[in-house]
Amino acid sequence: MARGQRRPGGDGRAAPDLFQVRISHLSGHGRAGRGAEQQLAQRRGHRPPGAHRRRVRDHDQSLDARPFPGRPRLDHRHHAWCGQLGDQRFAGATPRWCAARLGPHLPHPRGLADVQRPSRRRSRPGRLPARPPDHLPQLPPSQASPRAVDGHAVPHLRDHHPGRGGARGRSLDRWLPAPAHPGRGAIVAAADQVARPGRHAGLPCRPDPRLQPVRGPLRRGAVPVAGPRAALLRADHGALGPHSRAPLVTTVAVVGLGKIGLPLAAQFASKGLDVIGCDLQPEAVASINSGRSHIREEAGLEEAVRTAVAHGRLKATTDTTAAVAKADVVVVIVPLMVEPDRKIDYRSVDAATLAVARGLRRGTLVVYETTLPVGTTRQRLKPAIERESGLTAGADFHLAFSPERLYAGRIFADLRKYPKIVGGIDPASTDKAVDFYRKVLDAEVWPVENAETAEFAKLAETTYRDVNIALANQLALYAAGRHVNVGQAFKAANSQPFSHIHRPSIGVGGHCIPVYPHFLLDDAADGELSLVRDGRQTNDGMARVGIEALDRSLGGLRSRRVLVLGASYREDVKELAFSTAFAIVDLLHRAGANVMVHDPLFTPAELFALEAEVVDLDSEAALSADAVVVQAWHSSFHELDWRRFKSLRAVLDGRGSVDPQSVREAGAAYVAVDAPREEASA
């Protein structure tokens, strides 16, 4: 009988489907399961064993007889811990039913795995209650989410249930035990019922020790689902599949507590989850555990870390494997770089992956957020995890990729704004990751077809920017010698909504834009992505273009004192990765200049790798500079008075940020890659 069809009852009317719910840790349709079901039926005195087997078969055929991949076999030890759902005698909703109508976060008892059809008669008070009718409206998957549980699903079902069997049957409350507190919602109350020892038709019944009802104010480990006072259950994970225990997430391990990982950890903690941050650096771990952020430049991060640690929601450790062993979800956000020869350096990601795999439990969701070349999640990381853990992706654990697209310096604002792209190695992994991100982010969560699509989306987005900057640079070089005010021209062009020309500059730096095109080029065939390759070369060559312009303006750089302002790859971020400062310092050295560097975000020791004299802005050496190169225009430079530099002859504005007039007023030449040539005074 197809699901949703009505069976004729003895009175000729449509009879409700009656079910008995069995709560077990592990259950299955195998022979062992049926034997146990017979015992159950005999003890209840409902039917002889043979008839019961037939009913089980009926049920299999009528509901959904497909085998569930990864579904565990019945565990005899736990089978007797059964009965109906608390003393409310709630019964009848299968995990599938709950997931379809109420979303995956219904606190369906884990192991509410099997449903039997003990009787075709109508429910009577005091006997088994009826299962909610099949003709209740089905929620689309988009509503069958935690949000749907919060805002729509339950009232929706209540509103639409037509009722039968008298007043008790007129609402969903008939099947969900009554809320313990008004406003908390029946779902939460149902969860409480599951965990409470109850009367179970004479069967030995104990609560599942992993299920902890949460009443009253939220406590640690509880996840709100149905209003401010509602709370769910903390529970362990079982195997995957529709009959596995409900996917409740309470603990998240974040691997990599850098500029992106630490704000993410704080964000997850702010949503009520227990977060264990993992990093190789003991100093960072110690700092976080004392409530201090080791990342100073991120707006709101200090406060977020302090609050999360104070509330006991965030801890840090250097032991990734131990943290993963306690986690329901693992988010990996360690760096992936390219070496100077453009070879991709997987060492951090591979090391993190091994550490994760060693602690991985069945049922865990692993999400990589580190930007990866297309196919890496499936072809490199999945086999590595499987080899090390002995578990199978898709059957034993979920695996997804979700690129992090945040902009350092405004991460918490971006977390609320940017859609979160999610693609799993299979649809179940995508769903699971989407559920997780809907719980922890305020932004839209945007599932895509698979992990490869999500990987490519991030690479496409960053490569677009690299190529766009290259186009801006090429256009600027062409126009600057033709009496064009390039800045004004681009502004005018961009007033047309389809034009988004970026700003020309002396180079592109950072983890992302100069790096990710190489993730594409690495496996591109000859002739593929020629535009991307060309754009990369153009941008890499801009530092030389800028220094040559400065050289021309000064009439040579030999023995000139040149101050590089800002070592970071861009303004207001303490990050040297792929900073153009390295190329600038190198080119100046080669031209014979005496090079000084100033960046208030770094200590002199941190700038050691630049191989330049690190100076204070007020120092005699800095103020005696012949020329200044603006490499990163930090906010602290905005009020800089160029007249303080007594010998200043030229300023190379590498970022198009400086007011040319203020430079000229100081008696110096304004030099930029998009500006007409300006000679410095002797």
DSSP of 446-474: EE-SSHHHHHHHHHHHHHHHHHHHHHHHH
Position among 512, 550, 563, 614 found at the interface with ligand NAD (CB under 6 A): 512
DSSP class of residue 591 equals: T
Q: Which residue is nearest to ligand NAD (CB)?
A: 258
Beta carbons of 404 and 369 less than 8 angstroms apart: yes
If the CB atoms of residues 101 and 655 are measured against ligand NAD, the closer one turns out to be 655
Answer for which of 62, 94, 244, 320 binds ligand NAD (CB under 6 A) is 320
Figure out which of the listed residues 404, 431, 435, 466 binds ligand NAD, where binding follows CB under 6 A. 404
Q: Strand, helix or coil at 660? A: helix
Q: Which two tokens stand for residue 383?
A: 């086999």
Binding window for ligand NAD (CB under 6 A); candidates: 84-92, 329-337, 374-382, 640-648: 329-337
The helix, strand and coil proportions of the chain, stated in percent and rounded to the nearest 5, come to 40, 10, 50
Write down the least CB distance from residue 346 to ligand NAD, Å.
11
CA distance 380 to 388: 13
From 256, 423, 514, 517, residue interacting with ligand NAD (rule: CB under 6 A): 256
Give the integer Cα–Cα distance in Å for 15 and 160: 19
Task: Given the residues 205, 512, 574, 646, select the one marked as catalytic.
Answer: 512
Q: How far is the CB of 316 from ligand NAD (least distance, A)?
A: 10
Closest CA to 27 of 138, 109, 137: 109
Q: Examine residue 509 and tell whether it contacts ligand NAD (CB under 6 A).
A: no
How far apart are the C-alpha atoms of 381 and 385, rounded to whole Å? 6
Least distance in Å: CB of 259 to ligand NAD? 4
Q: Does 98 participate in catalysis according to the annotation?
A: no
**Sole window of 228-236, 348-356, 377-385, 474-482 interacting with ligand NAD (rule: CB under 6 A):** 348-356
CA distances for 357 relative to 10, 181, 325, 381, 392, angstroms: 57, 42, 9, 10, 11
Q: Find the binder of ligand NAD among 259, 398, 420, 634 (CB under 6 A).
A: 259
Q: Which stretch binds ligand NAD (CB under 6 A): 323-331, 347-355, 606-614, 663-671?
A: 347-355
Interaction of residue 408 with ligand NAD, rule CB under 6 A: yes
Minimal distance, residue 579 CB to ligand NAD, in Å = 13
Question: Nearest approach, Cβ of 261 to ligand NAD (angstroms)?
Answer: 5
Region from 145-153, 258-266, 305-313, 660-668 binding ligand NAD, contact rule CB under 6 A: 258-266
Give the tokens for residue 603: 């200590």
| CA-based nearest residue to 84, from 116, 38, 49, 45 | 116
Answer yes or no whether residue 371 interacts with ligand NAD by CB under 6 A.
Answer: yes
Residue number, 371 or 553, with CB nearest to ligand NAD: 371
Q: Is 504 exposed, middle or buried (0-12, 13-18, 19+ CB in 10 A)?
A: buried
Residue 596 near residue 631, CB atoms below 8 Å = no
* Token pair of 426 as six digits: 């299979």
Nearer to ligand NAD, 17 or 455 (CB): 455
Q: What is the size of the binding site for ligand NAD (CB under 6 A)?
A: 28
Least distance CB 576 / ligand NAD (angstroms): 10
The single-letter code of the amino acid at 628 is V
**Any bridge partners for residue 116, and if so which?**
20
- Taking the alpha carbons of 372, 377, 378, 382 in that order, is the dihedral positive or negative? positive
DSSP for 149-195? IIIIHHHHHHHH----SSGGGSSGGGTSPPPSSTTT-HHHHHHHHHH
Q: Which of 139, 305, 336, 680 binds ligand NAD (CB under 6 A)?
A: 336
Q: What is the spatial distance between Cα 85 and Cα 175, in angstroms, rounded to a whole number?
A: 10
Q: Does 370 bind ligand NAD (CB under 6 A)?
A: yes
Report the candidate in 55, 32, 21, 77 with the shortest Cα–Cα distance to residue 201: 21
Nearest approach in angstroms of CB 86 to ligand NAD is 43
Q: Counting contacts by CB under 6 A, is residue 511 touching ligand NAD? A: yes
**Closer CB to ligand NAD, 258 or 504, in the complex:** 258
Name the active-site residue from 315, 420, 458, 574. 458
Cβ closest to ligand NAD, residue 256 vs residue 654: 256
Angle 593-596-601 from CA coordinates, rounded to 5° = 150
Residue 459 makes contact with ligand NAD by CB under 6 A: no
CB atoms within 10 A of CB 79: 23
Among 72, 92, 146, 258, the residue binding ligand NAD under the rule CB under 6 A is 258
Other beta carbons within 10 Å of 8:
10
Among the residue ranges 105-113, 256-264, 385-393, 467-475, the one whose residues contact ligand NAD (CB under 6 A): 256-264
Closer CB to ligand NAD, 404 or 674, in the complex? 404
The reply to whether 601 sits near ligand NAD by the rule CB under 6 A is no
Q: Which residues contact 228 (CB under 8 A, 6 or more apart)?
A: none
Taking the least distance from each CB to ligand NAD, the nearer of 24 and 364 is 364
One symbol per residue from 215 to 254: x for binding ligand NAD (CB under 6 A), - otherwise; what is it? ----------------------------------------
DSSP annotation of 8 reads E
Rounded-to-integer distance, Cα 656 and Cα 642, Å: 16
Respond yes or no: is residue 574 known to be catalytic. no
Q: Which of residues 260-299 bind ligand NAD (CB under 6 A)?
A: 260-261, 278-281, 284
- 597, 628 Cβ separation under 8 angstroms: no
Amino acid making up residue 313: R
CA nearest neighbour of 256 among 265, 247, 248, 267: 265
Interface residue with ligand NAD among 72, 109, 272, 335 (CB under 6 A) is 335
Q: Of 337 and 623, which has the nearer Cβ to ligand NAD? A: 337
d(CA 45, CA 154): 35
- Least distance in Å: CB of 321 to ligand NAD? 10
Q: How far is the CB of 568 from ligand NAD (least distance, A)?
A: 11
Q: Kindly state the smallest distance separating residue 472's Cβ from ligand NAD, in Å.
A: 21
* Closer by beta carbon to ligand NAD, 369 or else 435: 369
> CA 139, CA 597: separation in Å to the nearest integer?
61
Count the Cβ atoms, other than its own, within 10 Å of residue 492. 11
CB of 95 to ligand NAD, least distance (A): 35
Q: CA 182 to CA 217: how far, in whole Å?
A: 14
- If the CB atoms of residues 117 and 458 are measured against ligand NAD, the closer one turns out to be 458
Least separation, in Å, of the C-beta of 445 and ligand NAD? 17
Q: Which of residues 609-668 bind ligand NAD (CB under 6 A)?
A: none
Residue 281 or 530: the one with the smaller Cβ distance to ligand NAD is: 281
Q: Which residues bind to ligand NAD, rule: CB under 6 A?
A: 255-261, 278-281, 284, 320, 333-336, 348, 351-352, 370-371, 404-406, 408, 511-512
**Residues with catalytic annotation?**
458, 512
